[in-house]
A = this chain, B = another copy of it.
């Protein structure tokens, strides 16, 4: 039993090393990376669809899509004329640094300013695996209910931004936004929060501004932060 745990720890360490390499590689080419996490159907792809064209006016953008199966999400991004690569994990419940390392080799990084990585739809596992991104984002949607930060704390603890999506459904739900904000802030006091509806466009401008601010801040300070 001890040996099993030891080896699993080594897998984690190996992942962290490759994540560090990814970050160095990205910085060498002046590329900034975002890791977008969240439950299946929380609206991760929709958030990208709603903002990529606008972000494309200021930055050269690429997207890496992570899914167990299909290339549906990559096709949605491709339709917008954005460079995209689909990773199919088979059964794996998260993206790991090594997959991102291989994916980055498919791009000419000198032609990219920012990369969005859309992780596998899962509110648990992706939180444990640094992929080498500079910022970590968690997307939840209002129909998921207001107990998610308390019940899935790890992913909120390791995130820089919480997006609360599907705000247009709020009138049809019994969801306490204040509880989401309060619980999330107790778990992670530095977590920023943006409310969006990809359907009505509400809050998408705040999302775009937040993304731009991260790139500007990075450029001003040169500071980046690891995952845990």
Contact = CB atoms under 8 A, between A and B. Distances in A.
Given A4-B11, A39-B40, A150 B91 contact: no
A107 interface: no
A70 B40 CA distance: 22
Most buried by B among A40, A120, A125: A40
A68 B154 contact: yes
A41 B154 contact: no
Given A4-B7, A69-B151, A124 B93 contact: yes
Interface string A99-124: 00000000000000000000011111
Given A121-B152, A122-B123, A147 B68 contact: no
Interface residues of A, number: 38
A79 to B, nearest CB: 15
Contacts of A121: 39, 123-124, 151-152
Nearest to A142: B143
Interface in A44-66: none
Interface stretch (A16-24, A27-35, A166-174): A166-174
A152 B69 CA distance: 7
